[in-house]
Structure 1
Amino acid sequence: MLKQFKLPFFQTFSATLIWILILISVFLGDVTFSIRYTWNLVGISAIFAMIFGVMYPALWNFSSIKAISKIIISSSINFVGGIIAVWLFSPDMLDIIRPWIILIAIATILGHIMGFYFYSKWDNEKKSDELNKLLRK
Structure 2
Amino acid sequence: MPTVVVTVTQLLPLSLSSPASYQLYNGGNLVSMNSNGGLVVNGPTEIRFIIQGADGTAYSPVGISFKEASSDASGGMGDPLGRSAFPMRTFVPQGNTAQLSVFDADPAQAEFEFSLMIESPSGTVAVIDPPIINRHPV
**Rg larger in 1 or in 2?**
1
Higher RCO structure, 1 or 2 (CA under 8 Å, sep 6+): 2
Could you say whether these structures have the same fold, taking a TM-score greater than 0.5 normalized by the shorter chain as the test?
no
User: The TM-score by the shorter chain falls in which range?
Assistant: under 0.3
Q: Which has the higher strand share?
A: 2
- Per the normalisation by structure 1, the TM-score is 0.27
TM-score by length of 2: 0.27
Q: Quick check: which one's helix share is greater?
A: 1
